[in-house]
C-alpha cells in the first residue's frame, strides 16, 4: 500500500468564527495535512493554537506566507482574499475561498460538492465556496431539480447572527442581557458593520443582510440569486430572495417555494428524492411535530429539510423549510469538502 499523500495547508482568517471551525474539521476528518499554517491579521498574530495536539503560532498573512503551501483556505473577508489569494496561487497553492471576492468570476468554479463537484476540475487556482444561505438551499434543491426540474425559486431566509462574525454574536448576547435588565440597548455592528445605521438585533428582526444594491435588493439577496444560477448551471432559473437577520447565533433557516417542471407530483415524491440525497436529512413528520429548527441543526454537517407541502393552488408548487448550521455546511465544512474532493481528484497536481 502506497504511503498517503499529505499536503501543506494554510488557513487564512484562522482566528475567526469560520477559520476556527475549519481547523477543527481538518482535525476531526483527518484531512491529510503535512504542515498547517494559521494566518491572520497583525492583530491576532502570535496567538497560540493547537492542531492534532501540537502548538501552532498564528502568523500574520503576507504574500510570502504561501511559499510551499499546497492548499490555502481563505476566510478573512473579501478584501484580504482579493489581495492575497492571487499571491497564494502565484506560489503554487490552490485556493478555496470562502468570501464573495471571486464567486461570480467566470474562471472560478463555485462549488457545493453534493451539487456540482465536477466544476472543481475547471479551476485555475481559485475555487470559491458559495454564500452560506445559498449552499444549504442548492444542496436541498439540486436532487429535486435533477429528478423533476425546477423553474422557479422564491426564498425568504431566517439567518443567524454568526454569519456576521463573532463580534455580531457578542452584540446579540450583550443586547439581550441589557434588554432583559431593562437597560438601553446599543447597536454598533448589525445589520452591516460598514453601513451607516445600526439597529438592535436582540428581540428584533432586521430585513437587511449586507448592503443595498441599486435595484433595492441587498447584496446577500443578489448572492443567493446569482450564485444559485451559477452552481445549478441554469441561467434561465428564476430565483428571488428576501434575506432577514434574526436573533439567534447559529444555523440559517429558509422558507423555500419552488415550481417543478414535472406534473402530478406529491409530497411523497419530494420526500423520496430527499431521502436518497447526499448530505440531506429529511425531518418531516408534522403529526409528531418533527421539523428542523436552528437549534436542532446546530453543530451538524447536514442540511435538514422539513415542512414539505404541496401548494394548494399550483399543482407544480411545493414549499420546504431548509435548515443548516451556517458555520459548518454553510462555510467551514463545505470548504473542507471542496478540499477533500480536490485532493481525491486527478485535477490536483501536487
SS3 call for 203: coil
- Is 123 one of the catalytic residues? no
User: Would you say 159 is a known binding-site residue?
Assistant: yes
Write down the least CB distance from residue 78 to a second copy, Å. Answer: 21
Catalytic residue among 123, 132, 233, 319: 132
CA distance linking residue 58 with residue 29, whole number of Å: 22
Q: Tell whether 162 is in a known binding site.
A: yes
Is 15 labelled as part of a ligand binding site?
yes
Is 243 in the active site?
no
Q: Cβ distance 336 to 75 under 8 Å?
A: no
Rg (CA), the chain: 20
> Is 100 annotated as belonging to a binding site?
no
Is the CA virtual torsion 153, 300, 342, 63 positive or negative?
positive
Q: Which is nearer to a second copy, 167 or 185 (CB)?
A: 185
Closest distance of CB 192 from a second copy, Å? 8
Q: What does the alpha-carbon distance between residue 128 and residue 177 come to, in Å, rounded to a whole number?
A: 38
Could you report how far apart the first and last alpha carbons of the chain are, in Å?
A: 19
Min dist. Cβ of residue 291 to a second copy (A):
5
User: By C-beta, is 31 or 248 nearer to a second copy?
Assistant: 248
| Separation between Cα atoms, residue 59 and residue 91, nearest integer Å | 18
Comparing CB distances to a second copy, the nearer of 5 and 314 is 314
CB of 271 to a second copy, least distance (A): 11
Catalog residues that contact a second copy under the rule CB under 8 A: 152, 154, 156, 158, 173, 176-177, 180, 191, 195-197, 199-200, 203-208, 212, 215-218, 225, 238-240, 242, 244, 246-249, 253, 255, 257, 267, 286-289, 291, 293-295, 306-314, 317, 319, 321
Q: Kindly tell me which of 51 and 318 has the beta carbon lying closer to a second copy.
A: 318
Q: How many Å apart are CA 284 and CA 275, to the nearest integer?
A: 11
Q: SS3 for 4?
A: coil
Q: What is the DSSP string of 225-291?
A: HHHHHHHHT-TT-EEEEE--B-S-SS-EEEEEEEEESSSS--HHHHHHHHHTSTTEEE--BGGGTB-
Task: Give, as one character, the DSSP assignment of residue 188.
Answer: S
> Least Å distance between CB 247 and a second copy?
5
Q: Which residue number, 30 or 197, has a Cβ lying nearer to a second copy?
A: 197
**Is 44 marked as a binding-site residue?**
yes
The number of C-alpha atoms within 13 Å of 132 and in the hemisphere containing its C-beta is: 31
Q: Is 307 annotated as a binding residue?
A: no
The partner residues of 206 in beta bridges, in order of sequence, read 245
CB 153 within 8 A of CB 141: yes
Please, what is the minimum distance in Å from the beta carbon of residue 112 to a second copy?
22
C-alpha cell at 112: 457545493
Binding-site members are 15-18, 43-44, 103, 159, 162-163, 245, 326
Binding residues for NADP(+): 15-18, 43-44, 162-163, 326
Please enumerate, by residue number, every residue annotated as part of a binding site for phosphate: 103
State the catalytic residues.
Answer: 132, 252
Q: Annotated binding residues for substrate, as ranges? A: 159, 245
Amino acid at each position: 500500500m502506497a504511503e498517503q499523500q499529505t499536503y501543506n495547508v494554510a488557513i487564512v482568517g484562522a482566528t475567526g468564527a469560520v477559520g476556527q471551525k475549519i481547523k477543527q474539521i481538518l482535525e476531526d476528518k483527518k484531512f491529510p495535512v503535512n504542515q498547517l499554517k494559521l494566518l491572520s491579521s497583525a492583530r491576532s498574530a502570535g496567538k497560540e493554537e493547537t492542531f492534532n495536539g501540537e502548538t501552532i503560532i498564528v502568523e500574520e498573512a503576507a504574500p510570502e506566507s504561501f511559499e510551499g503551501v499546497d492548499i490555502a483556505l481563505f476566510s478573512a473577508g473579501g478584501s484580504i482574499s482579493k489581495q492575497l489569494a492571487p499571491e497564494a496561487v502565484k506560489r503554487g497553492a490552490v485556493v478555496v475561498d470562502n468570501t464573495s471576492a471571486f464567486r461570480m468570476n467566470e474562471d472560478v468554479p463555485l462549488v457545493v460538492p453534493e451539487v456540482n463537484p465536477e466544476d472543481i476540475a475547471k479551476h485555475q487556482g481559485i475555487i470559491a465556496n458559495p454564500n452560506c444561505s445559498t449552499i444549504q438551499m442548492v444542496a436541498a434543491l439540486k436532487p429535486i431539480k435533477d429528478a423533476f426540474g425546477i423553474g422557479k425559486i422564491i426564498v425568504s431566509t431566517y439567518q443567524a447572527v454568526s454569519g456576521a462574525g463573532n463580534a455580531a454574536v457578542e452584540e446579540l448576547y450583550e443586547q439581550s442581557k441589557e434588554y432583559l435588565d431593562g437597560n438601553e440597548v446599543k447597536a454598533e455592528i448589525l445589520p452591516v458593520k460598514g453601513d451607516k445605521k445600526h439597529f438592535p438585533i436582540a428581540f428584533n428582526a432586521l430585513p437587511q443582510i449586507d448592503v443595498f444594491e441599486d435595484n433595492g435588493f441587498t447584496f446577500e439577496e443578489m448572492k443567493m440569486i446569482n450564485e444559485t444560477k451559477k452552481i445549478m448551471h441554469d441561467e434561465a432559473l428564476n430565483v428571488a430572495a428576501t434575506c432577514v437577520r434574526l436573533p439567534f447565533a447559529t444555523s440559517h433557516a429558509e422558507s423555500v417555494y419552488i415550481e417543478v417542471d414535472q406534473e402530478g407530483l406529491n409530497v411523497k415524491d419530494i420526500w423520496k428524492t430527499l431521502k436518497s440525497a447526499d448530505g440531506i436529512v429529511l425531518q418531516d413528520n408534522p403529526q409528531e411535530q418533527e421539523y428542523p429548527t436552528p437549534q436542532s441543526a446546530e453543530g451538524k454537517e447536514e442540511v435538514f429539510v422539513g415542512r414539505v407541502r404541496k401548494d394548494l393552488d399550483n399543482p407544480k408548487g411545493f414549499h420546504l423549510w431548509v435548515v443548516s448550521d451556517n458555520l459548518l455546511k454553510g462555510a467551514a465544512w463545505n470548504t473542507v469538502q471542496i478540499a477533500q474532493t480536490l485532493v481525491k481528484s486527478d485535477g490536483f497536481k501536487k
